[in-house]
């Protein structure tokens, strides 16, 4: 498929090829060709729930039908990490289904995705084909989450570079703190248990009693059990199921109160919905990685994965690679502290070698405080990434509001990111100019997820 140069080029990353522009150009080309073939992508996840996405491709006998393959593969990749699934059904041209089956196999380019999704859902990952008219029907489910503010609560936000905790009384924080830690490189489960327990106890010291604990954490959680999470990827597999999977359940028992865990992206969206008093909210937390969550028009969460750190936003063939999955052009390299660190050399900033990623982000933010134009260029670049990213996300979510927070948005850099993202939407996508992008106040940017997390359990 053809790559489209952005009208507002990110100054420190001129090769950026926005997914949204390439996808829209491809669909426009298909419509003009007079040889459009309808196609549906169905993704089945746990409990028989199913998402279905509809698009068009070139008919198999069109001379440029080979362009279908890259277009659909990137769509499948995005949908897989947005919505989740252990079985993909391609309802449309057979060559497209054959290609997806080859790529998303244990021996294919997307072997990581194949193994990961199979592990999440406890099923062998499968790609099937059927005729368009035989496509499976969607079966979605949305549930309310959080918004319980009564009583004395603890909210905990587990990030990869720091852990945040808040003590909350009837919705008002009375204590909050951030403590650096390094969970991803720790193989001993006791490290994780003791750090989280310490955070709970420190918050409890500021409350007359503890009624409930809510946890916001990167990863996938089912019934408060850890299924997959990068925070714990240093723990050997033989210890994971015994010590890590029930970690939060055990901590809740020890504390003697109800405890509920939610994906940090969903808590980000919940924080936005609560603070803005609106729904149809996409929350994007730019921290050690990119965490995304979504609150629908009814104020519910969808049960989708929303792990957009793994979802492609840049289609150039030499885009930066994600260190975990190995795939290129994915959100983590554009909307996290990894983006800041990646762009620093292009800006002419030399950061301390060997220091923690969070410390290198703090270095750049110190340059920003001092009025250094090189640091400002980094945040302008990320802002333009975000503008095109939000436009791309709007093709997959029913969006009205976007809330950005996390350590990358702290300080003056956050306002620059916001302004540049708005500029891209207003200039390049006038039809999306009604989408508001919001930045909470400084305190909420840093600990807002912990406060929203406190509202998760119903007492």
Are residues 93 and 185 located together in one domain of the fold? no
Query: Strands 225-228 and 212-217: what pairing?
Result: unpaired
Are residues 108 and 58 located together in one domain of the fold? yes
Residue 442's pLDDT is what?
59
Lookup: tokens for 163? 């852990």
Residue 160: give the domain boundaries: 142-459
Are residues 251 and 388 located together in one domain of the fold? yes
Q: Which residue has the higher pLDDT, 439 or 98?
A: 98
Residue 1 lies in a domain: no
Residue 324's pLDDT is what?
87
Are residues 400 and 424 located together in one domain of the fold? yes
Residue 161's pLDDT is what?
80
Residue 27 lies in a domain: no
Considering 82, 113, 134, which residue would you say is the last residue of a domain? Answer: 134
Residue 431 lies in a domain: yes
- Give me the mean pLDDT over the 106-133 stretch: 94
Residue 436 is part of a domain; what is its CATH number? 3.30.420.40
Euclidean distance between CA atoms 397 and 400, whole angstroms = 9
Over the stretch 52-108, which tens digit does the pLDDT of each residue have?
999 999 999 999 999 999 999 999 999 999 999 999 999 999 999 999 999 999 999
Are residues 375 and 308 located together in one domain of the fold? yes
Are residues 128 and 149 located together in one domain of the fold? no
Least trusted range by pLDDT, from 5-19, 279-293, 311-325, 335-349 = 279-293
Over the stretch 84-100, which tens digit does the pLDDT of each residue have?
999 999 999 999 999 99
Residue 9 lies in a domain: no
Are residues 60 and 189 located together in one domain of the fold? no
Considering 118, 134, 150, which residue would you say is the last residue of a domain? Answer: 134
Euclidean distance between CA atoms 92 and 25, whole angstroms = 20
* Whole-structure pTM value: 0.87
Whether the per-residue pLDDT at 381 is higher than 90: the answer is yes
Euclidean distance between CA atoms 102 and 271, whole angstroms = 40
Residue 147 lies in a domain: yes
Are residues 241 and 346 located together in one domain of the fold? yes
Are residues 306 and 183 located together in one domain of the fold? yes
Residue 25 lies in a domain: no
- Give me the mean pLDDT over the 420-443 stretch: 90
Residue 165's pLDDT is what?
93
Among residues of the chain, what percentage have pLDDT more than 70? 98
Average pLDDT over the chain reads 93
Q: Tell me how far CA of residue 37 lies from CA of 23, 40, 77, 334, 342, in angstroms.
A: 16, 10, 21, 33, 40
- Give me the mean pLDDT over the 37-43 stretch: 98
Tokens 């952005």, residue? 6
Euclidean distance between CA atoms 84 and 105, whole angstroms = 16
Residue 446's pLDDT is what?
52
Are residues 128 and 187 located together in one domain of the fold? no
- Give me the mean pLDDT over the 198-209 stretch: 97
Over the stretch 268-326, which tens digit does the pLDDT of each residue have?
888 888 878 899 999 998 988 898 999 999 988 888 999 999 999 999 999 999 988 99
Are residues 222 and 331 located together in one domain of the fold? yes
Domain count, the chain: 2
Whether the per-residue pLDDT at 443 is higher than 70: the answer is no
Residue 42 lies in a domain: yes
Residue 407's pLDDT is what?
87
Q: Which residue has the higher pLDDT, 445 or 267?
A: 267
Would you place residue 447 in the very low, low, confident or very high pLDDT band (cuts 50, 70, 90)? low
Over the stretch 152-178, which tens digit does the pLDDT of each residue have?
999 998 888 889 899 999 988 999 998
Would you place residue 233 in the very low, low, confident or very high pLDDT band (cuts 50, 70, 90)? confident
Residue 295 falls in which region: left (phi positive, over 0), alpha (psi -120 to 50) or beta: beta
Considering 72, 106, 134, which residue would you say is the last residue of a domain? Answer: 134
Lookup: tokens for 228? 């997959």
Residues 6+ apart with CB under 8 A from 161: 180, 181, 182, 287, 288, 337, 356, 357, 358, 361, 407
Residue 2 lies in a domain: no
Euclidean distance between CA atoms 252 and 195, whole angstroms = 14
Are residues 291 and 174 located together in one domain of the fold? yes
């Amino acid at each position: 498929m053809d790559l489209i140069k952005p009208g507002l080029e990110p100054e420190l990353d001129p090769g950026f090829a926005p997914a949204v522009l390439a996808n829209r150009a491809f669909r426009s080309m298909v419509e003009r060709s007079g040889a459009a073939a309808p196609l549906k992508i169905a993704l089945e996840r746990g409990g028989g729930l199913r998402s279905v996405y509809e698009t068009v491709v070139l008919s198999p006998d069109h001379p440029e039908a080979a362009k279908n393959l890259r277009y659909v593969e990137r769509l499948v990749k995005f949908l897989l990490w947005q919505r989740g699934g252990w079985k993909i059904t391609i309802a449309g041209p057979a060559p497209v289904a054959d290609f997806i089956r080859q790529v998303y196999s244990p021996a294919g380019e997307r072997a990581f995705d194949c193994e990961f999704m199979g592990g999440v859902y406890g099923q062998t990952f499968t790609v099937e084909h059927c005729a368009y008219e035989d496509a499976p029907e969607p079966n979605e489910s949305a549930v309310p989450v959080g918004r319980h503010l009564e009583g004395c609560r603890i909210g905990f936000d587990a990030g990869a570079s720091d852990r945040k905790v808040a003590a909350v009384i009837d919705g008002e924080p009375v204590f909050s703190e951030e403590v650096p830690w390094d969970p991803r490189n720790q193989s001993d489960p006791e490290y994780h248990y003791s750090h989280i327990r310490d955070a709970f106890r420190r918050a409890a010291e500021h409350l007359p009693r503890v009624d409930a604990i809510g946890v916001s954490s990167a990863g996938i959680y089912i019934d408060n059990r850890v299924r997959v999470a990068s925070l714990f990827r240093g723990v050997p597999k033989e210890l994971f199921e015994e010590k890590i999977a029930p970690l939060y359940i055990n901590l809740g028992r020890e504390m003697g109160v109800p405890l509920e865990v939610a994906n940090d992206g969903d808590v980000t969206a919940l924080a936005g919905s609560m603070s803005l008093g609106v729904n149809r909210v996409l929350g994007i937390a730019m921290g050690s990685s990119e965490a995304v969550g979504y609150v629908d028009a009814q104020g519910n969460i969808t049960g989708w994965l929303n792990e957009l750190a793994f979802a492609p936003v840049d289609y150039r063939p030499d885009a930066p690679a994600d260190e975990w999955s190995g795939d290129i052009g994915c959100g983590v390299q554009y909307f996290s502290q990894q983006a800041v660190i990646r762009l620093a050399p292009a800006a002419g900033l030399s950061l301390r070698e060997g220091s923690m990623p969070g410390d290198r982000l703090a270095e750049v933010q110190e340059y920003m405080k001092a009025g250094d134009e090189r640091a400002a260029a980094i945040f302008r670049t990320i802002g333009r990434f975000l503008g095109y990213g939000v436009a791309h996300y709007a093709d997959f979510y029913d969006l009205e509001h976007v809330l950005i927070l996390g350590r990358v948005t702290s300080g003056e850099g956050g306002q620059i990111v916001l302004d540049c993202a708005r500029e891209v939407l207003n200039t390049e996508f006038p039809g999306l100019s009604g989408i508001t992008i919001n930045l909470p106040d400084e305190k909420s940017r840093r600990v807002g997820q912990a406060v929203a997390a406190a509202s998760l359990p119903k007492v």
